């Protein structure tokens, strides 16, 4: 079982990218579980027609611990097992603590043992703002962290912060850095900036995605590009990225 | 009101269980909590505090450290103290604030161990569970780490006692009486008593025992670990009263011969009807006492379970009670009650109440009244 966590600045395209990776992995015959770690609970929407699904914390809120594993998941396109951690009432509670509770519930109910996914993808909100959002990279959860970035300054800044967090946690047996993914926004010198960022952390840009209207069209259909437009150039880019991510994840510990 | 305790006490929390279980083993226990809280975990619940050295510390967590996630201060302080004290191990415990902050104790423990070379455990205490959960996890962590070699069984029959802490047995000679009973009446030499009166080196030799005697439900996880690792069977019960002590001795011998585990503490008189005597408390002790009362005094009993306990520890007729309302209702339907004095206010005046202090429930308040019931006539008549 390969467990991969994806981090990056809010709005950089993590959920879209992770969902397309999930579709690409599933199309290759892998059993995939995608876990959205964002209070908005919309990570997996494009894997099940754009509809919202009930999150783990919704279940906790309604029924404390009186629910089954089956109620925590929803099977999406291509058989991807979709999970949304969810969050507290907006403006109240503690979202980070919520992520911890949700992931602990998933483990307690035996999600990894029952579904036995080949690949688990954690799609994590924005930045590692507190202990809760480092949960997916803790021991027993993700093996590798991939960081999405564009060439825009704020995105690079956020990516560097996340990479620094991964580096700081190295002594704790947390996930190691698998690499960076460049999601192009057509910023000046974008590829060079991403490459320099990766080099600064002794890592590499494992793949790049172009900006494409196809992504928006698929989103309007409530589907991933890989599923809605499998013959498109963009779908080919996602499939190539999926191969690159798998290859990077299966390598030994990346230097960090 | 449900799930509240406005009149009676509540049981000591998981952190107290850790401190109590590890007190005598030469390890350093660090509770990550605000300064001053050591009295909560150790002084009030710990009869050994003023007469026996220990290495139980509070990290003096501040609001700023919690908000800023300043784990490095905790790590640095523990590493520094460990270099001075050279403990056999280090155990890190959480409290409610680290629970909410999501502090990753196993990861911090790994970091401390890599810096000091001293075995370090991160325990999942939060103050939200009872002492049994903390004591159980702490003992299992120690045994898992230090009891790794499959030693040859001793020539003479031998046993470990698992789950003994002052929270359940006070310091009034009860544990010494259990060891004496084990030697003289049951015919087993003691390998180790986990964890009162034995050293970490004694515990390292636990695999040499033929059978394990679990005297509190906090010992079951460790007994299961030893069974899985070395094939040692276990028997759950406390040798209270006269006839039940003999039953337990026989169960230990049978278990050592057959390799089968047994729970004599969960046996009751199935033919009894009508009102029964109620005994609230930890299930292995209370179940043993209930059976002892039935056998020695002929009074049918049921145990009221206010703590975490596996279903197999409850006999038919035993019930779980989650709050003082449930306790009061159960008492009212009973022929009498044997319980810690702090239960007395919710016992109806027409139901006879017999005081039996339980340190995990009332701390040091009634310590002078604590009873040693091991292998002797019970002091009550109903």
Which residue of B74, B104, B116 is the best one to mutate when testing the A interface, meaning the one whose CB has the most A CBs within 10 A?
A: B104
Average pLDDT over residues B292-296: 96
Chain B environment of A93 (Cβ under 8 Å):
none
Q: A113 in a domain, yes or no?
A: yes
Min Cα separation B105/chain A (Å): 10
- The answer to whether B111 contacts A172, with C-beta atoms less than 8 Å apart, is yes
Distance, CA of A129 to CA of A162 (rounded, Å): 9
Yes or no: say if B312 and B266 are a contact pair by the CB < 8 Å rule. Answer: yes
Position A255 pLDDT exceeds 50: no
Q: Tell me the pLDDT tens digit for each residue of B333-348.
A: 999 999 999 999 999 9
Chain B environment of A130 (Cβ under 8 Å):
69, 101-102
- The answer to whether B69 contacts A100, with C-beta atoms less than 8 Å apart, is no
- The answer to whether A97 contacts B111, with C-beta atoms less than 8 Å apart, is no
Same fold, B14-146 and B158-265: yes
Helix or strand run (H / E) with residue B311: none
Domain that holds residue A137: 2-250
Question: Which CATH superfamily hosts domain B266-369?
Answer: Nitrogenase molybdenum iron protein domain (3.40.50.1980)
Predicted confidence at residue A20, as pLDDT, reads 97
Per domain, the residue ranges of chain B are 14-146, 158-265, 266-369
CATH number of B14-146: 3.40.50.1980
Yes or no: say if A102 and A86 are a contact pair by the CB < 8 Å rule. Answer: yes
- Which residues have C-beta within 8 Å of that of residue B307, sequence separation ≥ 6? B11, B130, B132, B217, B281, B282, B283
Position B39 pLDDT exceeds 80: no
Strand ranges across the sheet with B234-236: B189-194, B158-162, B211-214, B234-236
Q: A228 in a domain, yes or no?
A: yes
Chain A environment of B102 (Cβ under 8 Å):
96-97, 100, 130-132, 134-135
Q: A42 in a domain, yes or no?
A: yes
Distance, CA of B192 to CA of B175 (rounded, Å): 12
Position B266 pLDDT exceeds 60: yes
Predicted confidence at residue A256, as pLDDT, reads 38
- Mean pLDDT check: name the lowest of A141-145, B241-245, B271-275, B370-374: B271-275
Q: What is the signed CA dihedral for B247, B251, B252, B255, rounded to 10 degrees?
A: 180
Position B37 pLDDT exceeds 80: no
- The answer to whether B102 contacts A174, with C-beta atoms less than 8 Å apart, is no
DSSP string covering A97-145: HHHHHHHHHHHHTTHHHHH--SEEEEEE-SS--SHHHHGGGSTTS-SEE
Q: A255 in a domain, yes or no?
A: no
What Å distances lie between residue A15 and A77, B248, B307, CA to CA?
Answer: 15, 60, 43
- The answer to whether B110 contacts A94, with C-beta atoms less than 8 Å apart, is no
Q: Tell me the pLDDT tens digit for each residue of B132-185.
A: 999 999 999 999 999 998 999 999 999 999 999 999 999 999 999 999 999 999
Peptide bond into B336 cis (omega under 30): no
Query: Annotated catalytic, A14?
Result: yes
DSSP symbol at B107 = H
- Which residues have C-beta within 8 Å of that of residue B222, sequence separation ≥ 6? B136, B139, B140, B143, B162, B163, B194
Predicted confidence at residue A131, as pLDDT, reads 77
Measured between its terminal Cα atoms, the distance across chain B in Å is 32
CB-count burial class (<10 Å; 0-12, 13-18, 19+) for B174: buried
pTM: 0.85
The ipTM, to two decimals, is 0.74
Instruction: Give bridge partners of residue B189 from the DSSP assignment.
Output: B158
Chain A environment of B110 (Cβ under 8 Å):
139, 171-173
- The answer to whether A171 contacts B108, with C-beta atoms less than 8 Å apart, is no
Min Cα separation A204/chain B (Å): 27
φ and ψ at B280, to 5 degrees? -85, 145
In whole angstroms, what separates CA B9 from the centre of its chain?
Answer: 18
Chain B environment of A173 (Cβ under 8 Å):
107, 110
Distance, CA of B187 to CA of B246 (rounded, Å): 11
Q: A125 in a domain, yes or no?
A: yes
Which residue of B65, B102, B114, B129 is the best one to mutate when testing the A interface, meaning the one whose CB has the most A CBs within 10 A?
A: B102
Yes or no: say if A239 and A214 are a contact pair by the CB < 8 Å rule. Answer: no
Chain A residue nearest residue B100, CA to CA: A97
CATH topology of domain B158-265: Rossmann fold (3.40.50)
Distance, CA of B146 to CA of B142 (rounded, Å): 6
Domain holding A126: CATH number? 3.40.50.300
Yes or no: say if B69 and A129 are a contact pair by the CB < 8 Å rule. Answer: no
Chain B environment of A161 (Cβ under 8 Å):
none
Number of domains in chain A: 1
φ and ψ at B171, to 5 degrees? -125, 80
Q: List the catalytic residue out of A42, A127, A210, A243.
A: A127
Q: Measuring CA to CA, which residue among A62, A124, A63, A56 is closest to residue A96?
A: A124
Chain A residue nearest residue B105, CA to CA: A172
Predicted confidence at residue B169, as pLDDT, reads 96
- The answer to whether B106 contacts A139, with C-beta atoms less than 8 Å apart, is yes
Yes or no: say if B242 and B376 are a contact pair by the CB < 8 Å rule. Answer: yes
Query: Annotated catalytic, A116?
Result: no
């Amino acid at each position: 079982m390969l467990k991969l966590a994806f981090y990056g600045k809010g709005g950089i395209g993590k959920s879209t990218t992770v969902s397309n990776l999930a579709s690409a992995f599933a199309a290759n015959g892998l059993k995939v579980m995608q876990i959205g770690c964002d209070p908005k609970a919309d990570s997996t929407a494009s894997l099940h027609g754009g509809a919202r699904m009930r999150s783990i914390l919704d279940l906790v809120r309604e029924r404390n611990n009186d629910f089954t594993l089956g109620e925590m998941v929803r099977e999406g396109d291509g058989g991807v097992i979709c999970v949304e951690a969810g969050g507290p009432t907006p403006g109240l509670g503690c979202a980070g603590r919520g992520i911890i509770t949700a992931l602990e519930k998933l483990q307690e109910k035996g999600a990894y043992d029952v579904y036995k996914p080949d690949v688990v993808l954690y799609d994590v909100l924005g930045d590692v703002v507190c202990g809760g959002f480092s949960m997916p990279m803790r021991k027993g959860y993700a093996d590798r962290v991939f960081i999405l970035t564009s060439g825009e300054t704020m995105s690079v800044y956020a990516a560097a912060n996340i990479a620094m967090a991964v580096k700081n946690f190295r002594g704790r047996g947390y996930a190691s850095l698998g690499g960076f993914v460049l999601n192009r926004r057509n910023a000046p010198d974008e590829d060079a900036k991403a490459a320099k960022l990766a080099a600064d952390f002794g890592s590499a840009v494992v793949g790049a995605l172009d900006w494409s209207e196809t992504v928006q069209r698929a989103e309007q259909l409530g589907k991933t590009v890989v599923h809605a437009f499998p013959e498109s150039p963009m779908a080919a880019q996602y499939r190539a990225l999926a191969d690159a991510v798998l290859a990077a994840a299966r390598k030994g510990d990346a230097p960090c | 009101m449900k799930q509240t305790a406005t009149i009676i006490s509540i049981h000591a929390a998981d952190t107290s269980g850790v401190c109590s279980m590890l007190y005598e083993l030469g390890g350093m226990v660090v509770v990550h909590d605000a300064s001053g809280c050591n009295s909560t975990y150790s002084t009030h619940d710990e009869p050994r505090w003023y007469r026996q050295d220990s290495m139980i510390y509070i990290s003096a967590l501040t609001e700023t450290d919690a908000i800023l996630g300043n784990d490095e201060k905790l790590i640095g302080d523990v590493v520094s103290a460990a270099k001075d004290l050279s403990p056999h191990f280090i155990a890190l415990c959480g409290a409610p604030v680290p629970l909410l902050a999501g502090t990753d104790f196993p990861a911090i423990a790994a970091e401390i161990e890599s810096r000091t070379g001293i075995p370090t455990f991160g325990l999942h205490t939060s103050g939200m569970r009872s002492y049994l959960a903390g004591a159980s996890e702490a003992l299992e962590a120690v045994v898992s780490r230090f009891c790794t070699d499959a030693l040859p069984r001793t020539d003479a029959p031998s046993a470990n006692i698992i789950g003994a802490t002052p929270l359940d047995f006070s310091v009034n000679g009860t544990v010494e009486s259990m060891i004496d009973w084990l030697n003289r009446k049951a015919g087993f030499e003691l390998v180790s008593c986990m964890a009162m009166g034995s050293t970490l080196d004694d515990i390292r030799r636990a695999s040499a025992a033929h059978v394990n005697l679990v005297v509190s439900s906090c010992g079951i996880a460790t007994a299961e670990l030893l069974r899985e690792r070395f094939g040692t069977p276990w028997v759950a019960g406390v040798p209270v009263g006269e006839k039940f002590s003999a039953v337990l001795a026989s169960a230990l011998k049978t278990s050592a011969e057959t390799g089968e585990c047994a729970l004599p503490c969960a046996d009751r008189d199935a033919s009894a009807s009508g009102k029964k005597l109620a005994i609230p408390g930890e299930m292995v002790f209370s179940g043993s006492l209930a059976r002892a009362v039935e056998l020695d005094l002929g009074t049918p009993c049921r145990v009221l379970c206010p703590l975490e306990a596996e279903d197999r520890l409850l006999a038919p007729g035993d019930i779980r009670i989650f709050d003082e309302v449930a306790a009061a209702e159960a008492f009212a339907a009973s022929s009498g009650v044997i319980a810690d004095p702090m239960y007395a206010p919710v016992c109806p005046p027409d139901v006879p109440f017999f005081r039996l202090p339980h340190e995990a429930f009332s701390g040091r308040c009634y310590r002078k009244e604590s009873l040693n019931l091991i292998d002797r006539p019970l002091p009550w008549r109903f």
